[in-house]
Amino acid sequence: MAYVAIADRDNAHALHDPQSFLTKYIWSQDHKVIAIQYTITAIAIGLVALTLSVLMRLQLGFPDSFKLIAPQNYYQFITLHGMIMVIYLLTALFLGGFGNYLIPLMCGARDMVFPYLNMVSYWVYLLAVLVLVGGFFVPGGPTGAGWTLYAPQAILSGSPGSRWGIVCMLASLGIFIVAFTMGGLNYVTTILQARCRGMTLMRMPLSVWGIFMATVLGLLAFPALFVSAIMMTLDCLAGTSFFTPAVSSMGQPSAYNGGSPLLFQHLFWFFGHPEVYIVALPAFGIVSDLLSVHSRRHIFGYRMMVWAILAIGCLSFVVWAHHMYVSGMNPYFGFFFATTTLIIAVPTAIKVYNWVLTLWRGDIHLTVPMLFAIGFIFTFINGGLTGLFLGNTSVDVPLSATYFVVAHFHLVMGVSPILVVFGALYHWYPKMTGRMLDDTMGRIHFWITFIGTYMIYLPMYYLGILGLPRRYYAWDKSIQFIPPSVHTMNKWITISALFVAAVQLLFLFNLVWSFFKGKPAGGNPWRATTLEWQTPDTPPVHGNWREKLPVVYRWAYDYSVPGAKEDFIPQNVPPDKLSPVGHAQG
Amino acid sequence: MNIWVAFGVLSIGVIVWFLLIKRLHTRTWERHGSSVHARNARGDIGQVDVAPARIALWVFLAVITSLFGLFFSAYFIRMGHGHGAENGISDWHSVSKPPILWFNTAMLVLSSAAIQAARRALKFNQRTRVSSYLLAGGAFAMVFLAGQLIGWHQLRDSGYGLTSGPAGAFFYVLTGVHGLHLLGGLVVWLKTVARMRTRAVELIEVRLSIELCTVYWHYLLLVWLVMFALLLFT
């Protein structure tokens, strides 16, 4: 059997269409169905995390009025909120959801190269989510160690859920990593091997580049979490002392001896920092495409953007200890990591400049996806600039335990990627379902989310500069250095958070309502150039391209080409179909 | 320490840069020497004969490298950073290595060699030879795993249980993780052997599986040799 390049395989090579409901929608090996399964699961577990954050905010804003949660619940909620949002929602949604949906369509492939592995990846992810949720029902409840699960307090009695809760958490993370590795092998191999004819790497849309690099980061960084999860589980269950030093817990000396809590922090953050970019790089890529499509202008500095993605990816492995300035590690480390941290700002700034320059003199359409994309730029700059403060050791030390950090990381790696998720859902929903999301509901959703976000997090910067400590269940009114304005401001933040949380329900309603009642979208409602909009069917059928795979002749950003008949030239339009002046770059 | 980090980063950077430049120009749909290739000769170093599974295996090896690399660095950090280490009273006491590990190492080398021989026989289309070498390779690997289990028992009986100290705990964890990876390889090996038993299956259809098994086996041998050296000398 001679080897046939994937780009040359006809439909006979492709899988047979699944027939029954079960194989089509449940045990599906179709990347589009798996993507939607990932998305729905991630949003569902994300709603749990959203509810937890509302409960926490009610406690912080109105500690006297609501007696909904006890102190240990507060720590459990804070832990689960962080872990779910970062890993089970954002990572899964960007890579499992958008990665699965966009990679084969944007690269012009019929499916992922290993469809069966892809299906298993989803079901293992679902198992990870179920084990995580199972943590709520074990004796002692879920772990309350903080989302960083620092040793030794995560496994010592005194922390909530230090026996079964933490084991559920670690098991769930381990299972998640297995699922991610299966998915990740697929994404990388598909991008490298299954691109259609003419789709060189330097013609790929930036979304695919972002997802690709994020997957590579995930594949290399998640093992660090895996290693620490295995060793911590052994500390907890088998009584080894990898991370746990000799401690007296609740007055009783424990059997532990000599373990290194710093080792856990190093391992955790060796995963934890690339994780920031596992979430951010797909957002960077997707937002580049949204800005380009909706401003009818090619992305500014495409090559620079690709190299910036690669540079950020490589640098993200040498900055982890900037999370550990106050951990008691060698101060010379702080100097090294502060330097690398500031260096990573350079490619990031290049990307921001290029986004703004893409908009410059563009024909900007303020559609809902575009609003979210522009909102992302603002939020990312706001969150990113405060990162420069925290990246410097001497400034970080006084700010590290305050709300300044809460505001910084929520804006830069919470809200910014989530805005892109929303923008991307508004953008690609028509391709996924064949119907547009409702525009009015979309605009209400955007403005309340966007402005509400600022009403939540800008005051937190102020609280942080006042020195308000984070991780507290309540601040006693008699504490001298906390002025009364802090309590007023906390009420304000809570009320804003309630509005933002409520409007997400409107978005969910929109997702369901538009599926049945939305305006029919047609094949290419945004008049975009990339391949996913050129499929013969909308939503694309199994195999995506009917008999013949597309052939690509140009880069993904031929918008407003001088002399061309229309203001966009799809990637698969051959040069001889254009007028002579319409010859494009790429 | 910093100098090592910087050196590591630099060398990784150079390798990544080289691979990227190489990959950025590949066109997976083109064959070497085809007419399409001749027309686009400039800068085109595309390889089509690389099957997706081969790429996936190499990516997977990168993942495992990261995994074992992190285990090894955790090993070093725990060795140097234990309580009181700066005063020279570390709680790290090296364990006595069960002598059976030498025998196990020999088994794993033989296993790797047998699978390599199977791959070689594949080139000459000698079906029975491929089959017997493949079986021998798997059998040696199983002996290795059994030997590792015996090694665990010997270590425990000589007083170094899981909770005896960090060196003992790391011994179990490292060898355990390595063994699990070999076990995963044996699953693929078993599938390949089962396919070989079916007469209808042509030799060429299992070629890729055998080639990938060879790569994986050699890789796990390498990991074991590094790990064994680490355990012996500390």
Query: What is the domain-level CATH number for residue B224?
Result: 1.20.120.80
Residues B20 and B98 in one domain: no
Contacts of A238 in chain B (CB under 8 A): 162-163
* Residue A577 CB partners (closer than 8 Å, separation 6+): none
Does residue B46 form part of some domain?
no
B61-65, B71-75, B203-207, range with the lowest pLDDT? B203-207
Task: Report how many domains make up chain B.
Answer: 2
Does residue B132 form part of some domain?
yes
Does residue B145 form part of some domain?
yes
User: Where residue B84 falls among pLDDT bands split at 50, 70, 90?
Assistant: low
Residues B99 and B147 in one domain: yes
Residues B152 and B195 in one domain: yes
Mutate: best of A219, A227, A317, partner B, most B CBs <10 A? A227
Check if A114 contacts B (Cβ < 8 Å). Answer: yes
Q: Closest residue of A to B164, CA-based? A: A240
Residues B101 and B157 in one domain: yes
Residues B72 and B174 in one domain: yes
Contacts of A310 in chain B (CB under 8 A): 16, 20
Does residue B189 form part of some domain?
yes
**DSSP class per residue in chain B:** -HHHHHHHHHHHHHHHHHHHHHHHT--TT--TT-HHHHHT-TT--------HHHHHHHHHHHHHHHHHHHHHHHHHHHHHHSTTGGGT--S--PPPPPTHHHHHHHHHHHHHHHHHHHHHHHHTT-HHHHHHHHHHHHHHHHHHHHHHHHHHHHHHHTT--TTS-HHHHHHHHHHHHHHHHHHHHHHHHHHHHHHHHSTTS-GGGGHHHHHHHHHHHHHHHHHHHHHHHHHHH-
Nearest chain B CA: its distance from A335 CA (Å): 10
pLDDT along chain A (586 residues), means of 10: 64 62 84 95 96 95 86 94 96 96 94 94 97 95 93 88 93 97 95 90 94 95 95 93 85 85 93 94 96 95 94 92 88 89 93 95 95 96 92 92 95 95 97 95 97 95 93 86 91 96 96 95 93 92 87 92 89 80 46
Contacts of B9 in chain A (CB under 8 A): 317-318
- Say what the pLDDT of residue B36 is: 39
> Residue B18 is part of which domain span?
2-39
Nearest chain A CA: its distance from B71 CA (Å): 7
- Say what the pLDDT of residue A395 is: 92
**CB B23 to CB A314 under 8 A?**
no
* Residue A113 CB partners (closer than 8 Å, separation 6+): A6, A186, A189, A190, A193, A194, B52, B56
Among A390, A377, A370, residue whose Cα is nearest residue A348: A377
**CB B82 to CB A192 under 8 A?**
no
Q: Which of A202, A227, A242 sits opposite B70 (nearest CB)?
A: A227
Residues B34 and B117 in one domain: no
Does residue B47 form part of some domain?
no
**CB B28 to CB A196 under 8 A?**
no
Residues B98 and B173 in one domain: yes
Beta-strand ranges (E) seen in A84-135 are none
Contacts of A7 in chain B (CB under 8 A): 28-29
Coil/strand/helix, residue A239:
coil
- Say what the pLDDT of residue B26 is: 66
Check if A240 contacts B (Cβ < 8 Å). Answer: yes
Does residue B202 form part of some domain?
yes
Does residue B71 form part of some domain?
yes
* Residue A49 CB partners (closer than 8 Å, separation 6+): A80, A81, A84, A85, A88, A89
Residues B147 and B73 in one domain: yes
**CB B59 to CB A188 under 8 A?**
yes
Among A392, A301, A372, residue whose Cα is nearest residue A585: A301
Residues B32 and B56 in one domain: no
Check if A201 contacts B (Cβ < 8 Å). Answer: yes
Residues B143 and B223 in one domain: yes
Residues B20 and B57 in one domain: no
Burial code (b: 16+ CB inside 10 Å, e: under 16) for A151-175 equals bbbbbbeebbbbebbbbbbbbbbbb
Residues B150 and B183 in one domain: yes
ipTM for this prediction: 0.90
**CB A314 to CB B27 under 8 A?**
no
Check if A473 contacts B (Cβ < 8 Å). Answer: no
How many interchain CB pairs under 8 A, A with B?
147
More confident residue, B112 or B46: B112
Does residue B68 form part of some domain?
yes
Q: What is the mean pLDDT of residues B137-152?
A: 96
Q: Which of A193, A238, A310 sits opposite B52 (nearest CB)?
A: A193
- Say what the pLDDT of residue B174 is: 95
Mutate: best of A113, A177, A202, A260, partner B, most B CBs <10 A? A260
Answer for the pair B45, B25: CB distance below 8 angstroms, yes or no.
Answer: yes
Answer for the pair A563, A582: CB distance below 8 angstroms, yes or no.
Answer: yes
Mutate: best of B63, B76, B164, B201, partner A, most A CBs <10 A? B63
